[in-house]
Chains A and B, each alone.
Chain A
Amino acid sequence: SYVLTQPPSVSVAPGTTARITCGGSKIGSKNVHWYQQKPGQAPVLVISYDADRSSGIPERISGSNSGITATLTISRVEAGDEADYYCQVWDSNSDHVVFGGGTKLTVL
């Protein structure tokens, strides 16, 4: 089955840039979606199809995908960005949804 690998945690200072990676075999050939989840809340779709921001998501949140790594980039990080972030793809070989293990973003 297809596996997505994320770093468990990323820590950055406010105002700097956070990059959260999602690794998978030939992930560049797949559509990657990103979810933000804050404590006690359901996940929220922030980026779909590698780089499309959902409505209401600020432009400082962006996505890219190439080769074996997809990346969620958050520029000018704010305290409110502190959350867990999950990448997700569709595995067309199995018709299954696959989530990465999640990355906890800490704003120092």
Chain B
Amino acid sequence: QVQLVHSGAEVKKPGASVEVSCRASGYTFTDYFIHWVRQARGQGLEWIGWINPDTGDSECAQNFQARVTMRRDTSTSTVYMQLARLTSDDTAVYYCARPSYCSTASCPIAYWGQGSLVTVSS
């Protein structure tokens, strides 16, 4: 079965960077895009971007373009999302998620990881 397993919770100081990882299993890693979505406590879902694990190509929401780097490691079926210059507004649960049965970023998102809590605090 499809599984997306996140790295653990992180506590960072303002101005620092954080890297969250998501290890995929149960399917061919390079066949499906991965999205990153975050959710602050009590707030809605905010899309961060997608990465194509096959090519390494990625695309980010405008709000994140200057601060987010996404990469993948095909040898371990893991995707990474690094967010730089953290502020308290970045405190949130960060999810990786995979589209359903079709292999483009535009497909509905059927599989979600458990999320990684990132806390930014001085």
Contacts and interface: CB of A to CB of B under 8 A. Distances in A.
Given A48-B100, A48-B108, A49-B108, A42 B115 contact: yes
A6 B112 CA distance: 22
Contacts, number: 56
Contact of A92 (B47, B106, B112): B106
B105 interface: yes
A92 B107 CA distance: 12
A26 interface: no
Given A42-B114, A99-B47, A90 B100 contact: no
B73 interface: no
Nearest to A32: B108
A55 to B, nearest CB: 10
Given A33-B108, A88-B109, A96-B61, A42 B47 contact: no
B109 A1 contact: no
B26 interface: no
A84 B113 CA distance: 18
A11 interface: no
Interface residues of A, number: 24
Interface of A: 1, 31, 33, 35, 37, 42-43, 45, 48-49, 54, 84, 86, 88, 90, 92, 95-102
Q: Is the interface of A mostly helix, strand, loop or mixed?
A: strand
A5 to B, nearest CB: 12
Contact of A99 (B44, B50, B59, B105): B44
Given A45-B100, A45-B109, A45-B110, 14 more contacts: A33-B108, A42-B95, A42-B97, A42-B112, A42-B115, A43-B45, A43-B109, A43-B112, A84-B44, A88-B108, A90-B105, A98-B47, A101-B44, A102-B44
